C-alpha cells in the first residue's frame, strides 16, 4: 500500500461515529454551537472539511433538530460550511440502553478484559441492535457505490453488516479504538457471533496494535468454522466477504501540541502554580484521565501514598496534579470509582499536607489545549498507569508537549497495559499498575533519574511521537483503504 495524505484521497467519505463534532444547543433563547476541542473528533474535523464528506452521528444537542433540513442534515462548521453533518435521533431510553448499557457496560469492560464488570441485560442488546440499524439506515441514505464509509469504534459493531445488505459494492471500514481481548475472554459474550459477523462485513478493520489484531483473528478462527483466517496477511474470508485486519497505531498532532505548549511561555507556569497553590520548589507529576476504572487511578494514588509514607523526604518536594474528567457517571461502577478516588485523595491530603503544600492537587474543570499542554510541558513526570488501555493519547501528548529545550527533560512513566507501550515502552519507565510498593519505587527512580538519561530518553520518545503522528496514521489508513478500493474496482472491470 502507498500512504495517501488526506489531500489525495479520491473517494467521497462518509464517517460514522456515536459522538458528533458540532452540537447545537439553546442558551436562553439563542442557539449556540459546541465545537470539537480535543481528541480524535477535533483531529477528524479538518479531514472532513478538506474532503467535503458526510459525518453521521447521534444528535445530542437540544437545538440540533432545529437547524437540520428534512434529511436531518446541517452544513458545518457554521461560519464556513464545508461538509454535511447528518444527525441520528435517539430517545433517552435508547441512549440509556445502547450507550450506557450495551456499549459501556458490556463491550467496554469485556474488551478491557474486566469480565467481572460486565452487565448483560437483554434490553441492552435489543437496543444496541436497533440503534445500529438506525445508523446503518442513515449510511444507506448518504452513501452510494463510489463512497467509502468509515465506522468509528465499539458503539457500531453491527452497523456494517446492515449497511452491507443495501450497499454490496461500497467500501466499508472500521477503526476499533479500544483493545480486542483474547478468545477466552470474548467467548463469555453470548452475542459473540453477531458482533464478529457485524464487523466482518467491513473490507478493513483497524486496531491500535498487533496484539489486538492477533486476538481478533484468533476469535474469528475459534468462533466460525466456516471462516478462513490468514494470520500472516491479516485476511479473513467469511460469508463471501474478504476482510483485511491490520494495526494502525493512532498518533497525535505532535507539532501543533508543541507549539501550543509554548504559548504564554513566560507567564504560564508561575501563574498556574499560584492558581493551584503548588509550591515553587516542588516537583510536579501529572495524570490526565477520564474517570474510568481502566485508567488505574486508585492504583496510582495508592503508590503515591506508599511513596510519601515510606520515603518522607519526598513530602513537600513532589506534588501530584490529577486532571480528571467525570465520565459515564450514570453507571454504578463509575460512581464507585469516583468514591474510591475521592477517598484516596482526601486521605493523602489529610495524612501528609503541610501548611504550604498538598500532595494531591485535583483539577476537575476543563483545561484549554494551551493550558493542558503547558501543564504537560512543565511537569517533571507523567504518570500513565492504566490497567488496560487501547492506546492512551495522554502519553503521546505529554511527549509532544516537551518541545522546548528548557522543558525537554520530563519522564514518562508508562503502564505495560497500554497500546502506547508497544511504541514507547523501550524508552519510557515501564510499570505494572497493580503493585503499589513497586510502583512507588519506580516513581522515585523516575524522580532521581540523572539529567542526561532523562534527556536521552525524551529525545527518543519525541522522535517516535513526531514520526508516528496523526497525519501518518490517517495517511496509512486512507492509503490502505484506497488500495483496497482500486483492487475491487479492477475486479469489477475485469
Residues in touch with ligand GDG (CB under 6 A): 37-40, 177-178, 250, 288, 290, 323, 325, 366-367, 369, 372, 389-394, 397
- Rounded Cα distance between 464 and 103, Å, is 32
> Please, which residue, 323 or 378, has the CB nearer to ligand GDG?
323
Contact between residue 480 and residue 243 where contact means Cβ atoms under 8 Å apart? no
Give, in order, the Cα–Cα distances in Å from 79 to each of 22, 76, 83, 211, 369: 12, 8, 12, 43, 21
Instruction: Work out how close the CB of 143 gets to ligand GDG at its nearest, in angstroms, rounded to a whole number.
Output: 24
Instruction: Work out how close the CB of 313 gets to ligand GDG at its nearest, in angstroms, rounded to a whole number.
Output: 31
Those residues whose C-beta lies under 8 Å from the C-beta of residue 448, and which sit 6 or more positions away, are none
Kindly write down the DSSP assignment for every residue of 415-466, as one continuous string.
ETTBTTHHHHTTTSEEE-TT-HHHHHHHHHHHHT--HHHHHHHHHHHHHHHH
Those residues whose C-beta lies under 8 Å from the C-beta of residue 4, and which sit 6 or more positions away, are 475, 478, 479, 482
Instruction: Work out how close the CB of 177 gets to ligand GDG at its nearest, in angstroms, rounded to a whole number.
Output: 4
Instruction: Work out how close the CB of 371 gets to ligand GDG at its nearest, in angstroms, rounded to a whole number.
Output: 7
Instruction: Work out how close the CB of 309 gets to ligand GDG at its nearest, in angstroms, rounded to a whole number.
Output: 29
Instruction: Work out how close the CB of 153 gets to ligand GDG at its nearest, in angstroms, rounded to a whole number.
Output: 8
Instruction: Work out how close the CB of 29 gets to ligand GDG at its nearest, in angstroms, rounded to a whole number.
Output: 29
Instruction: Work out how close the CB of 289 gets to ligand GDG at its nearest, in angstroms, rounded to a whole number.
Output: 7
> Please, which residue, 56 or 401, has the CB nearer to ligand GDG?
401
> Please, which residue, 162 or 396, has the CB nearer to ligand GDG?
396
> Please, which residue, 22 or 357, has the CB nearer to ligand GDG?
22
Query: Where do the DSSP E strands lie in 272-400?
Result: 283-290, 318-325, 360-363, 381-384
> Please, which residue, 223 or 247, has the CB nearer to ligand GDG?
247
> Please, which residue, 178 or 424, has the CB nearer to ligand GDG?
178
> Please, which residue, 38 or 479, has the CB nearer to ligand GDG?
38
Positive or negative torsion for Cα 107, 109, 113, 119:
negative
Phi, psi (deg, nearest 5) at residue 241: -120, 140
* 153 closest CA partner among 129, 184, 132, 182: 132
Residue 86 has a CB neighbour count (10 Å cut-off) of 22
Q: Helix, strand, coil % (nearest 5) of the chain?
A: 45, 20, 35
* Residue 332 burial class via C-beta count within 10 angstroms: exposed 0-12, middle 13-18, buried 19 and up: exposed
- The DSSP element (H or E) to which 369 belongs, if any, is helix 369-378
Those residues whose C-beta lies under 8 Å from the C-beta of residue 166, and which sit 6 or more positions away, are 140
Q: Three-state DSSP class for 7?
A: helix
Name the grid cell of 463.
522522535
Contact between residue 178 and residue 111 where contact means Cβ atoms under 8 Å apart? yes
Instruction: Work out how close the CB of 373 gets to ligand GDG at its nearest, in angstroms, rounded to a whole number.
Output: 8
> Please, which residue, 73 or 205, has the CB nearer to ligand GDG?
205
Instruction: Work out how close the CB of 325 gets to ligand GDG at its nearest, in angstroms, rounded to a whole number.
Output: 5
> Please, which residue, 95 or 394, has the CB nearer to ligand GDG?
394
> Please, which residue, 90 or 391, has the CB nearer to ligand GDG?
391
Amino acid at each position: 500500500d502507498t500512504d495517501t495524505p488526506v489531500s489525495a484521497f479520491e473517494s467521497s467519505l462518509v464517517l460514522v461515529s456515536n459522538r458528533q463534532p458540532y452540537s447545537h444547543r439553546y442558551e436562553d433563547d439563542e442557539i449556540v454551537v459546541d465545537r470539537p476541542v480535543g481528541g480524535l473528533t477535533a483531529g477528524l474535523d479538518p479531514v472532513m472539511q478538506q474532503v467535503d464528506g458526510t459525518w453521521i452521528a447521534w444528535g445530542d444537542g437540544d437545538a440540533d433538530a432545529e437547524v437540520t433540513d428534512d434529511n436531518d442534515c446541517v452544513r458545518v462548521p457554521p461560519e464556513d460550511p464545508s461538509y454535511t453533518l447528518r444527525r441520528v435521533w435517539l430517545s433517552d431510553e435508547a441512549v440509556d440502553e445502547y450507550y450506557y448499557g450495551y456499549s459501556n457496560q458490556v463491550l467496554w469492560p469485556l474488551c478491557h478484559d474486566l469480565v467481572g464488570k460486565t452487565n448483560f441485560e437483554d434490553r441492552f442488546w435489543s437496543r444496541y441492535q436497533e440503534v445500529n440499524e438506525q445508523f446503518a439506515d442513515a449510511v444507506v441514505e448518504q452513501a452510494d457505490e463510489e463512497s467509502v464509509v468509515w465506522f468509528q469504534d465499539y458503539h457500531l459493531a453491527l452497523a456494517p453488516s446492515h449497511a452491507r445488505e443495501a450497499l454490496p459494492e461500497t467500501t466499508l471500514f472500521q477503526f476499533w479504538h479500544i483493545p480486542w481481548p483474547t478468545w477466552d475472554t470474548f467467548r463469555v459474550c453470548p452475542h459473540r457471533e453477531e458482533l464478529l459477523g457485524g464487523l466482518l462485513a467491513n473490507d478493513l478493520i483497524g486496531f491500535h496494535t498487533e496484539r489486538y489484531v492477533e486476538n481478533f483473528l484468533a476469535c474469528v478462527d475459534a468462533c466460525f468454522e466456516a471462516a478462513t483466517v490468514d494470520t500472516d496477511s491479516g485476511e479473513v474470508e467469511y460469508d463471501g466477504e474478504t476482510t483485511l485486519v491490520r494495526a494502525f497505531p493512532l498518533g497525535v498532532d505532535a507539532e501543533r501540541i508543541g507549539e501550543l505548549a509554548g504559548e504564554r511561555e513566560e507567564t504560564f507556569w508561575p501563574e498556574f502554580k499560584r492558581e493551584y497553590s503548588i509550591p515553587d520548589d516542588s516537583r510536579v507529576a501529572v495524570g490526565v484521565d477520564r474517570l474510568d476504572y481502566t485508567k488505574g487511578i486508585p492504583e496510582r494514588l495508592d503508590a503515591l501514598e506508599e511513596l510519601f509514607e515510606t520515603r518522607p523526604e519526598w513530602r513537600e518536594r513532589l506534588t501530584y496534579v490529577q486532571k480528571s474528567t467525570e465520565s459515564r457517571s450514570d453507571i454504578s461502577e463509575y460512581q464507585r470509582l469516583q468514591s474510591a478516588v475521592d477517598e484516596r485523595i482526601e486521605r493523602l491530603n489529610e495524612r501528609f499536607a503541610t501548611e504550604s503544600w498538598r500532595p494531591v492537587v485535583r483539577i476537575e474543570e476543563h483545561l484549554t489545549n494551551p493550558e493542558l499542554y503547558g501543564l504537560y510541558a512543565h511537569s517533571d513526570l507523567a504518570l500513565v498507569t492504566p490497567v488496560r488501555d487501547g492506546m492512551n493519547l495522554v502519553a503521546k501528548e505529554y511527549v509532544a508537549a516537551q518541545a522546548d529545550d528548557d522543558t525537554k527533560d520530563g519522564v514518562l512513566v508508562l503502564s505495560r497495559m497500554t497500546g502506547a507501550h508497544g511504541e514507547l515502552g523501550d524508552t519510557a519507565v515501564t510499570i505494572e499498575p497493580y503493585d503499589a510498593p513497586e510502583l512507588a519505587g519506580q516513581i522515585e527512580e523516575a524522580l532521581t533519574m540523572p539529567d542526561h538519561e532523562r534527556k536521552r530518553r525524551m529525545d527518543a520518545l519525541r522522535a517516535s511521537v513526531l514520526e508516528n503522528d496523526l497525519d501518518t496514521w490517517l495517511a496509512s489508513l486512507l492509503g490502505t483503504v484506497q488500495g483496497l478500493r482500486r483492487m475491487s474496482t479492477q475486479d469489477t472491470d475485469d
